[in-house]
Structure 1
Amino acid sequence: MLHLAGIHVVMGVLGYAQSKLYWQQNNQVPLIAKCMTRDCFYELRNYMHFVDNTSEHNEKLWKVKRFLDCVQKKSLTLPRSHHISNEEQMVPFSGKCGFVTCVPPKPNPLGLKCFILAAPDGLVLDFMFYAGSGTVSAEDMKEYGRSAAVVKMTESVPRDNQHCVYTDRFFTSVKSVDMLLGRKIYQRGTVMKNRLGPIVKKLKNDMLFQRGEWEEWVREDSKICLIKWKDNKSVLILSAFVGSGPPTTCKRWSREQKRKIDVPQPVAVKLYNENMGSVDLCDRFLSYYRWYICTSKWPVRMFNNFIDLVIVNCWVMYHRWCSENEIPKQRRFSLMDYKMHVGKAMINYKYVEPVARRRGRPSVVNSSDSEDVDDVQNMDKKPRRALSQLQKLGLTM
């Protein structure tokens, strides 16, 4: 399995159109061809299973549950950043599966939907697959709506008033912000008008705003604020961490002046823009060297996707280590070089069986030394019959 995973990693970096090309005489890749034959590769991929298919099951993800649990267990041990974003990620797949979904705004709209909790540099900290009804409890769905996914994903976030979760408008609501405040976790995100209640009527019309202007509403308990800021279009930000001050500026293109100008911007919007794109950044890393060979089996696609995800996580941690040790960027591995090194190491790995321990008293000399000693003793020994004949002739020492 380790050799098979390494071949998939190298295939993703090289990017041939068909998997059989790696074994053809004109296009052969010796690293892959020497490790495994083509027929063996296809056979292993066709018969790859993580559980017994004849066993009883109640979950939709039962075929990859053990593998996903191993990856998630390691992800939960990674260091938590103070700013974390929660968003959807799609595993591209168009075959037969009971929980394939379509999200049109995504680069890969059709596939398996996964909720990701990630750090600003793209490090995946936790994940949860959407498998239809039952992914989130019915009580939470009734209470929080789509924000129930955020409620469940933030269970692994430390509750110490030092972490802020960023969400988009589909997963932000006043109820979710209040619930996370009860867990000592802050939330900030864009929000829809139909989730704000009566305060929507107090907001000014978009036509009354100039570019860079905003208005701010603070709740009576001073725990949540709502900011409406006008850029090219108006944007609504619900925040439990900071408000509009201290104000900052951002660069925007001016059609009238034909150059970039400074536009006033609330600090809550600036923090949102800086920390919200972590899941998109992880998607970009995965798309660079993804294994795109077609397969009709969703467990195989899931396996390949999370092998790539684990390597991307390792590469992000490697870059953090390089930054801490002030290693120049010229001496750091790029993602392509890093994946190629990992793939080669997986392919060249050789399993060595442990030597069975012998019973009895341990020997004083090594096995190799004992063989040499035995050879010397055998050379010194003389046959008894020959020795007796020599003694009769008087030729012995």
Structure 2
Amino acid sequence: MVEKEDAAEISAIREEQETEYEFPKADAVRSGKVIDSQPKSDVSDNNTNEGAPSTREQQQQQQKGSVSLQTSKNEMEQFVGILLHMGIIKMLSIHLYWSNECRYSPIADVMSRIRFFQLPWYFHVVNNQDLPEANSNRDKLFKIRPLLSALQSSLKTLPPEEYQAVDEQIIPIKGRSGLKQYVRNKPRKWGYKSFTRAGPSDMMYDFEIYVGKNTWSDRGLGLTGDIVLALTETLPEKQHFKVFADSWFSSIPLAIALKERGIEFCGTIRTDRMGKCPLKTEVEHEKTGHGFCDWRVEATNNVALVHWFDRKCINFVSTYACVEPMATCRRYSASEKKFIDVPRPYIVQKYNKHMGGVDLADMLIELYCINLRSRKWYMRIVYWCLSVAFVNGWLLQRRLMVQRGKTSKMPLLQFQANIAAGLLLARKSASQKKRGRPSSEMLTRTPAAKRTVCAAPVMDERFDGFEHFADMVEKKGRCKESNSL
């Protein structure tokens, strides 16, 4: 009897399910018009999602908003110091700095691995609650615009050099991003493109990251000419600064526009931008051989166009340099099978000497760059801004040493290591206990009787006025830094 009653209940439940649910037919599935298979209810569910976040960014804001990091300025300084250490001491994986086999004490003793990965995950430059509305005119770099503006304002305050070069840089990135560009002639071909103005000393004075046609306002010279005019806006006028650029930027209207502001220009130029200047053709130059040049000067604006044949024909445009005085350079002659002296115009000499400032600055940034992967698209730009600040600081320190008449110059490696040590140790409590419980070997081991040697602290830690008072000891000794006081 019990089995019959159970069977009757099961059959009744099946009948109820068949009446409440309506399964999609095969024709409806093929056509894409699938009938809703959920049971109908008399209760309206319009308010079931009330208060739920509508976008992914809002979900992240609610999830991350409930986390309290309890960080401080000292901890963020330690975080930046760790990044600088990682730029100097590179390992195949970030986790190796805290591993038992490859432990690196200057990093592992300052911050735990979990805490180090937690800080960049919650790192923001702007408040997510104050995001601008999504439209076509919104700044694509709004996530880091305050940081970029602060760095640009700091670079523009530096006293500029007489010679300035404008060129493009690549901030390398392998991830997906709508701002990623491809530059064929760069060592790192994929990444964010930055247009930079730098001097012969490799110091950067201004930059702008390319985000599309809305990067600069229209000045009537096309994209390439508007870039040069925008990057040279802060240069003082009528003081005869010299600006150099390659053939991608150069044009005759650009040279005239800069000359009207009292800024001289020099650069290579493409043949189709020379305004039908009556110069000799490349075939005629090949007959004369290496070193032959031809030039014309526009009388109204004093713009010179020079055509020089080296291994191939190269065109130059300038408002202050031309052919004279001629010089020579060494080139290998395949016909004579030896090096020969080839005539070289003055404009070529000036261009080769002052054009490479941006490339050298890019090289210095890549020497000890911060290579930390992140899911946030803008963290690569943040790390690049830190590297730019440190490289410019090192160049300023070298300039100061030259002004004081000192011949000894600190290398970039030591400069970055000193800044990293200062950020990790300066104004930090010296009584921090070592993390983790002591091992049995440490409890049973007797201390050695030999004298302990303490390394001299860096200058930032010595003179920060924080926990560096003299300690009373029983045994009398001499000050290790007595000669320098």
**TM-score in same-fold range (> 0.5):** yes
Post-superposition shift, 1:300?
1.4
Q: Structure 2 residue aligned with 1:106, among 178, 186, 211? A: 186
Q: Is contact 2:158-2:205 (8 Å) kept?
A: yes
Q: Structure 2 residue aligned with 1:295, among 374, 396, 399? A: 374
2-structure distance, mates of 1:188, 1:60? 33
Q: Structure 2 residue aligned with 1:43, among 107, 113, 118? A: 118
Specify the alignment match of 1:325 in structure 2. 404
Structure 1 gap ranges (5+): 353-397
Q: Higher relative contact order by CA 8 Å / sep ≥ 6: 1 or 2? A: 1
Q: Is contact 1:95-1:297 (8 Å) kept?
A: no
Q: Structure 2 residue aligned with 1:66, among 136, 146, 153? A: 146
Specify the alignment match of 2:320 in structure 1. 241
Q: Is contact 1:144-1:175 (8 Å) kept?
A: no
SS in 1 for 2:128: coil
Q: Structure 1 residue aligned with 2:300, among 221, 224, 242? A: 221
Which residues in structure 2 correspond to 1:258-337 (within 5 Å)? 258-328=337-407, 331-337=408-414
Are residue 177 (structure 1) and residue 177 (structure 2) matched? no
Structure 1 range deviating more: 104-113 or 253-262? 253-262
Greater fraction helix: 1
Specify the alignment match of 2:426 in structure 1. 349
Which residues in structure 2 correspond to 1:186-201 (within 5 Å)? 186-199=264-277
SS in 1 for 2:233: helix
Q: Is contact 1:86-1:166 (8 Å) kept?
A: yes
User: What one-letter code is carried by the residue in structure 2 that aligns with 1:28?
Assistant: R
1-structure distance, mates of 2:176, 2:280? 49
Specify the alignment match of 1:93 in structure 2. 173
2-structure distance, mates of 1:339, 1:246? 43
Specify the alignment match of 1:389 in structure 2. none
Specify the alignment match of 2:475 in structure 1. none
SS in 2 for 1:229: strand
Q: Is contact 1:209-1:230 (8 Å) kept?
A: no
1-structure distance, mates of 2:142, 2:301? 46
Q: Is contact 2:171-2:191 (8 Å) kept?
A: yes
Structure 1 range deviating more: 198-207 or 27-36? 198-207
* CA deviation map 1:23-51 (0-9, x unaligned): 11221111111211100000001111010
Post-superposition shift, 1:201?
6.3
User: What one-letter code is carried by the residue in structure 2 that aligns with 1:269?
Assistant: V
Which residues in structure 2 correspond to 1:68-217 (within 5 Å)? 68-137=148-217, 139-140=218-219, 143-199=221-277, 203=281, 205=283, 206-217=285-296
Relative to 1, partners in 2 of residues 1:259 and 1:343: Cα closer, same or farther, differing over 3 Å?
A: farther
**Identical positions, percent:** 28
2-structure distance, mates of 1:271, 1:14? 38
User: What one-letter code is carried by the residue in structure 2 that aligns with 1:347?
Assistant: L
Relative to 1, partners in 2 of residues 1:296 and 1:261: Cα closer, same or farther, differing over 3 Å?
A: farther
SS in 2 for 1:148: helix
Relative to 1, partners in 2 of residues 1:59 and 1:351: Cα closer, same or farther, differing over 3 Å?
A: farther
Specify the alignment match of 1:18 in structure 2. 93
User: What one-letter code is carried by the residue in structure 2 that aligns with 1:119?
Assistant: G
2-structure distance, mates of 1:320, 1:255? 44
How large is the Cα RMSD of the aligned pairs? Answer: 1.8
* CA deviation map 1:309-359 (0-9, x unaligned): 11111111222223333433xx3221111111111111223369xxxxxxx
Specify the alignment match of 1:52 in structure 2. 127
Relative to 1, partners in 2 of residues 1:33 and 1:145: Cα closer, same or farther, differing over 3 Å?
A: closer
Specify the alignment match of 1:380 in structure 2. none
Q: Is contact 1:115-1:127 (8 Å) kept?
A: yes
Larger radius of gyration: 2
1-structure distance, mates of 2:188, 2:125? 26
Structure 1 range deviating more: 103-112 or 244-253? 244-253
TM-score by length of 2: 0.69
SS in 2 for 1:280: helix
Q: Structure 1 residue aligned with 2:109, among 30, 34, 42? A: 34
Structure 2 gap ranges (5+): 1-75, 133-137, 430-485
SS in 1 for 2:129: coil
2-structure distance, mates of 1:214, 1:319? 40
